[in-house]
Amino acid sequence: MTATRPRPAGHVLVEALVAQGVHTAFGVPGESFLAVLDGFHEHREHIRFIACRQEGGAAFMAEAQGKLSGRPGILFVTRGPGATNASIGIHTAFQDSTPMVVFVGQVASDQRDREAFQEIDYRQMFGPGTLGLAKWVAEIESADRLPEYVARAFHVAMQGRPGPVVLSLPEDMLTKATAAPVLPRAVPAQAWPAPGALVQLRTMLMESRRPLVIAGGGGWDAEAARALERFAQNWQLPVANGFRFQDTFDNRHRLYAGDVGIGINPKLAAHVREADLVIALGVRLGEMTTSGYTLLQPPRPAQKLVHIHAGPEELGRVYAADLMLQASMGLAAKALETLAAPPVVQWAGHAERVHADYLANLEAPAVAPMDLAVVMKTIQRRLGDDVIYTNGAGNYSGWLHRYVQYPSLHHRGRTQLAPTSGAMGYGVPAAVGAALLHPERHVVNIAGDGDFLMTGQELATATGYGAGRGAGKLISVVVDNGTYGTIRMHQEREYPGRVSGSDLYNPDFAALARAYGWHGEAVDRTEAFEGALERALASGLPALLHLKLDADVITSRTTLTAIREAARRAGR
């Protein structure tokens, strides 16, 4: 891969990816990057191209592999419709702080700015910035500079707050010959927190009585997670995880407080509000993690706030924190564990109460005929902790987030793949991407009926590339309540008796799975689930279990009946 003989730029691009350690790229083929597809064929012993069924699904697969590996997931899409279809996964990578590099085919250079067939200006479309879709967008006009752009894309995607980068590839540029050598594997620069700020943070801890850590975000690795655990133990700090980053801290640890996100444990919400010091480590403190900016009141929270984040643009964006530290998560947690703790802290009993409230939240009243709390606990009991869970958006995810206890990523690697962007359709392709990256691990997707049908065609991708046929099994659990549950819940609350547009008409999901070459089975009662799970595991195929849920059981905490009654009492 170090030869400098002239070869097509499309081949050089593939060589550059191999030099970055890339072994898998996802996409939907297009005529705008035929030269790159030929490069994948040329170097097929080193890298594979996974042809997906729709660009949104391909983008979610690439994003999932970026989450799991910490290196950029790779996506190739064609111009126009391909790019617009892919934008949902690029937005997810941006909001989830996931490293990703996206290559978009472009019209030939001599046709630019004429609104040629499927032409879009991607620098305008993906608009880099704090509220854009990508960290950096560029068009490669010179074949000789292609390796330079690729290397820069990897650096930008991984450094600071991780995120997606988009490179536009004019069709004629890819066919030109170049002798440009590829550049070495990118290693992201790391930032260590300022020593003086660490001294100030220690002082704030010493003065605190009810401190709380909220950890999450992108950029974590196993060593950083271990360091966070040691920091928490040294200071006996209760640790909560940010929205859909529940594998940042071991959920079975005696200092674990729970997840701060949608459907938050009311007692944990009270603990956040009553804290006198909140250390936000790696999280963005966005709408979901702050319960609509209510747990921490902007711009100046009642709690003392320490915000530690890799991206300088995040610090001070919403909250005027008492202390702001820009640092990479790989080093921030290691710095925190060096802070000398006193022999005894004054909040040890408080930390025990916080964890006890988390344990109490794992208990739930029985629900018939289908109890999703039992389903989640059964999956974890039967498959153990070395499972990657995926989900998209919808109320059904509340059972997964509440009842599965995630190990810290320093034990098993990432175990939770879920979009903080709230993207529907994420779970199925994310599960396929995870199963292709880790064939030795079980991968379980929990999907709603509306969520599943947005990207369910990617079951064909799993079948075509053998996902879920190794030691690790790929299982999709489809929760079918015949409605867009989240929307129905809000309608019943805000417009009782005026339901509109939220009913769903579904196929036989088990039969659909079998048509794709999967094992498929329907389950209509709780006591039948474990047997169905055993048959799925024994089938030798990826498997789909179709669960019927009464629409009245709308969340893990309430029912539509209760919501209607509350609306009636409120006079709505």
57 and 160 belong to one structural domain: yes
**Residues 49, 170 share a domain:** yes
Nearest to 378 by CA among 531, 522, 264: 531
Contact status, residue 71 vs residue 158, Cβ threshold 8 Å? yes
* C-beta atoms surrounding 185 within 10 Å: 13
In-domain check, residue 183: no
Are residues 378 and 354 part of one domain? no
Question: Is the pLDDT at 9 greater than 90, yes or no?
Answer: yes
Report the mean per-residue pLDDT for the chain: 95
Q: What is the pLDDT of residues 443-480, one digit of tens each?
A: 999 999 999 999 999 999 999 999 999 889 999 999 99
- Residues 112-148 have pLDDT tens digits of 888 878 778 988 899 876 677 999 999 999 999 999 9
Query: β-strands 256-260, 239-242: how paired?
Result: parallel
The pLDDT value recorded for residue 297 is 96
Domain end among 108, 143, 178 = 178
Asked, for residue 367, whether it belongs to a domain, the answer is no
C-alpha span between 340 and 237 (Å, rounded)? 13
Q: What is the mean pLDDT of residues 532-550?
A: 97
Select from 310, 337, 361 the last residue of a domain.
361
CB 401 within 8 A of CB 427: no
Mean pLDDT of 98-114: 90
Dump pLDDT digits (tens) for 477-509.
Answer: 999 999 999 999 999 989 988 989 999 999 999
Residues 386, 408 within the same domain: yes
Average pLDDT score over residue span 96-117: 89
- The verdict on 138 and 246 lying in the same domain is no
Q: How many structural domains is the chain composed of?
A: 3
Closest CA to 281 of 219, 208, 236: 219
Is residue 276 located within the same domain as residue 388?
no
Residue 185 within a domain: no
Do the Cβ atoms of 88 and 56 come closer than 8 Å? yes
> pLDDT at position 129, please?
65
Instruction: Look at residue 1 in the predicted model and tell me its pLDDT.
Output: 46
Question: 60 and 123 share a domain?
Answer: yes
Residue 293 sits in the same domain as residue 314: yes
Task: Give the end-to-end CA distance of the chain in Å, rounded to a whole number.
Answer: 68
Confirm whether 308 is domain-assigned.
yes
Is 320 contained in some domain?
yes
347 and 223 inside one domain: yes
Q: Are 451 and 419 in contact (CB under 8 A)?
A: no
263 and 230 part of one domain:
yes
Give 237-292 pLDDT, tens digit per residue: 999 999 999 999 999 999 999 999 988 999 999 999 999 999 999 999 999 999 99
- Domain of 323, CATH number, reads 3.40.50.1220
Q: What is the pTM of this model?
A: 0.96
Last residue of a domain, one of 317, 342, 361: 361
Contact between 36 and 76 (Cβ < 8 Å): yes
pLDDT (average), residues 375-392: 97
Mean pLDDT, rounded, for 434-445: 97
Specify if 186 maps to a domain. Answer: no
**Looking at the domain assignment, is residue 188 inside a domain?**
no
Containing structural domain, residue 318? 195-361
Q: Is the pLDDT of residue 438 over 60?
A: yes
103 compared with 111, residue with greater pLDDT = 103
Q: How confident is the model at residue 3 (pLDDT cuts 50, 70, 90)?
A: low
Long-range contacts of 269-276 (CB under 8 A, 24+ apart): 269/295, 271/210, 271/212, 271/238, 271/354, 271/357, 272/212, 272/214, 272/240, 272/296, 272/303, 273/302, 273/303, 274/210, 275/210, 275/211, 275/212, 275/303, 276/208, 276/209, 276/210, 276/211, 276/303, 276/304
Structure tokens at 321: 């924190």
* Residue 166 clears pLDDT 60, i.e. is over it: yes
Question: Do 352 and 384 have their domain in common?
Answer: no
CATH code of the domain in which 48 resides: 3.40.50.970
Query: Does residue 325 fall inside a structural domain?
Result: yes
